[in-house]
């Protein structure tokens, strides 16, 4: 019973969630690998108060995308993290010029916005899980130019789109 309550605490969404064992099996990856992705700030699992991790179908797709970037494109986790960090969340949200001047994300482009401890746009990291910036990053490594073009960051005739 506690397990069910814990699981509900971790998400208000009525979506199927997978334990770390189930997610590992589906992805054919070890549980430590999933924890390592989290540690590197490229994956945010749902977490219960007792620390149990759960993964949504979107999380599994995100991991598959990252595996593709690692195995087929040759990126490492730091490279993926740096690509995620290029997403200009302040433009996409968008934040005022005044807010962005004091935002650590705006001032440091070495890591994705959801890995920063103190930002004004969220109370805790779980909010990032449903934020369009985080969701966008699930595919941004393949579509970064298209995303940047869509928000007017790149001219529409940029090569390679």
Binding residues (CB under 6 A) for ligand SF4: these are 89, 93, 113-114, 119, 121-122, 127-128, 131, 133-134
In whole angstroms, how close is the CB of 134 to ligand SF4 at the nearest point?
4
136 token code pair: 């966008």
**Distance from C-alpha of 76 to C-alpha of 73, rounded to nearest angstrom:** 9
Nearest to ligand SF4 of 23, 87 (CB atom): 87
In the complex, what is the shortest distance from the CB of residue 136 to ligand SF4, in angstroms, rounded to a whole number? 9
Tell me the C-alpha distance between 67 and 43, whole Å: 12
Residue 46 backbone dihedrals phi, psi, to 5 degrees: -70, 145
Least distance from ligand SF4 to the Cβ atom of residue 40, Å: 16
Q: Measured from the CB atom, is 2 or 123 closer to ligand SF4?
A: 123
Taking a C-beta distance cutoff of 8 angstroms, is the pair 47, 125 a contact?
no
């Amino acid at each position: 019973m506690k397990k069910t309550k814990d699981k509900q605490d971790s998400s208000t969404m009525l979506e199927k969630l997978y334990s770390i064992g189930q997610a590992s099996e589906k992805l054919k990856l070890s549980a430590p690998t999933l924890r390592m992705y989290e540690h590197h700030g490229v994956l945010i699992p749902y977490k219960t108060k007792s620390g149990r991790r759960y993964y949504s179908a979107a999380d599994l797709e995100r991991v598959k995308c990252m595996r593709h970037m690692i195995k087929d494109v040759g990126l490492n986790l730091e490279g993926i993290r740096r690509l995620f960090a290029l997403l200009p969340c302040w433009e996409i949200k968008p934040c005022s010029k005044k807010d962005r001047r004091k935002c650590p994300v705006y001032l440091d482009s070495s890591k994705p916005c959801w890995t920063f401890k103190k930002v004004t746009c969220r109370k805790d990291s779980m909010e990032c899980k449903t934020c369009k910036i985080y969701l966008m990053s699930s595919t941004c490594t393949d579509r970064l130019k298209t995303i940047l073009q869509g928000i007017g960051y790149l001219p529409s005739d940029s090569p390679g789109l």
